[in-house]
Chains A and B, each alone.
Chain A
Amino acid sequence: MTDAHFGERAALYALGALDATESAALEAHLRVCAECAKLVGEAERDVDTIASLETRRRAPEALTNRVERLLAPARQPQAPWRFAAVAAAFLIGILPSAYLWERNRVMQDAMLSQSAAMDRLATTAHRTASFRPAGGALAADVMYPSDGSWYVIVVRGASHALHVAWMHDGAQTMLGDVVPHGRVAMLYLPKSHRMEQLALMDGPRVVAQAQLPY
């Protein structure tokens, strides 16, 4: 299908501008034509670039549960007498394992974010600004480069997650949460602009603020 106009059809597909029949035909073709798949992949990147800059929302817990059920292995029918054995095994082994698996997943996500942050800190010149706490034993810093392309917020002494907000023009824009793993909480924020004032919030209450000079 690689004719002179396929590039244009690739853009139409990636933008959702083909009708259902055309899309289905194209998807079938992409399964067997690597050349066309690459063209569509490039157009998909362009659409992703625009779509990623639209307002972001947190995926609801219900959706995550639904997708996890969808992707869970199919269950085999069990004989009734096995129920007691399965329940016993669950209590003895699987329940702690599930807890550890979930904890491991959260830790893994945190480590990936931490790894990105460490890479930035190690390879890019940056400044450090300290948060001024409104009270309590909280200690926190923010590291950032002069072009404002990323921010690493490190909080020590927090007993639970805190929100990070960008304070600007009399408004607060929520940027994410710093979640403690052990004694330290860290949040890595890729950005594309300078932010001159950040706040740590416990619910609606500002618990610390930082001024970021450039």
Chain B
Amino acid sequence: MARASGDEEALAVAFAAHERWAFARAYREYASLLYSVAYNVLSNSEEAQDCVADAIARLWRSPSAYSSGRGSLRSFLVVCVRNEAISRRRRQSRRLRLEERLAAMPVEHQELEVADPIERDRVRRAFAKLPDDQRAAVALAFYEGKTHTEIASELNAPLGTIKSRISHGLRKIAASLGSEGGER
């Protein structure tokens, strides 16, 4: 995992201080990433745009949502947008099947910025390294946006067990991706 540069740290501090320029700069810096994160959950451009705009608006109205002690501003924004997208998808009850997401190929070529099959394959390999029970729990959360209660019910396992499987599985995937030396 790359260490935050001086610029990123300065931006994070200004963002935490609710500086208007920092919000604008953070959006510009991560616009495509945030839009992609929303699109990859919602599979619809207009809904993804609504999602990103609403997430930024919500943060702008909540001055203390982020503190620089929390860690990476970029990761914070990714999770904010992603959680907003998952909430929208739950409300719409539009769920994508796990197999479809793992096998999905880009269809809107004119919108593509990066569609790198090797990067996608790295994620597949990282998931494949997990024990079956952890892989199923993390995949249901990450790709299908299910809550831990729904996952426990679907996998017929106690809630505490599901929490552990997700927590350990997530750590292992991130460690596996990090150890392959890729950059973001």
How many of chain B's residues touch chain A, expressed as a range?
A: 35 or more
Does any Cβ of A come within 8 Å of B99's Cβ?
no
A38 engages B71 (CB within 8 Å): yes
CA distance A57 to B31 in the complex (A): 10
Question: Distance (Å) between the CB of B146 and the closest chain A CB?
Answer: 7
Inside 8 A of A55's CB, which chain B residues have their CB? 36, 40, 106, 112, 114-115, 120
Inside 8 A of A46's CB, which chain B residues have their CB? 170-171, 173-174
A174 engages B115 (CB within 8 Å): yes
Within 8 A of B (CB), among A19-54: 19-20, 23, 27, 30-31, 34, 37-38, 40-54
- Inter-chain pairs besides A19-B149, A23-B83, 7 sampled, C-beta below 8 Å: A48-B74, A48-B79, A52-B78, A63-B35, A67-B52, A70-B53, A149-B181
A58 engages B32 (CB within 8 Å): yes
A14 engages B49 (CB within 8 Å): no
Inside 8 A of B83's CB, which chain A residues have their CB? 13, 16, 23
Does any Cβ of A come within 8 Å of B20's Cβ?
yes
Q: A11-B167, A18-B147, A41-B76 are in contact. Are A56 and B70 (CB under 8 A)?
A: no
A15 engages B141 (CB within 8 Å): yes
CA distance A192 to B71 in the complex (A): 24
B163 engages A192 (CB within 8 Å): no
Inside 8 A of B148's CB, which chain A residues have their CB? 12, 17-18
CA distance A45 to B71 in the complex (A): 8
A45 engages B1 (CB within 8 Å): yes
A67 engages B27 (CB within 8 Å): yes
A64 engages B149 (CB within 8 Å): no
Does any Cβ of A come within 8 Å of B113's Cβ?
yes
Which of B39, B69, B79 touches A38 (beta carbons < 8 Å)? B69
B81 and chain A: residue at smallest CB distance: A51
Q: A12-B148, A17-B146, A56-B36 are in contact. Are A34 and B69 (CB under 8 A)?
A: yes
Most chain B CB within a 10 A radius of its CB, from A17, A23, A147, A149: A17
CA distance A201 to B66 in the complex (A): 41
Question: Distance (Å) between the CB of B29 and the closest chain A CB?
Answer: 9
CA distance A211 to B57 in the complex (A): 46
CA distance A46 to B71 in the complex (A): 12
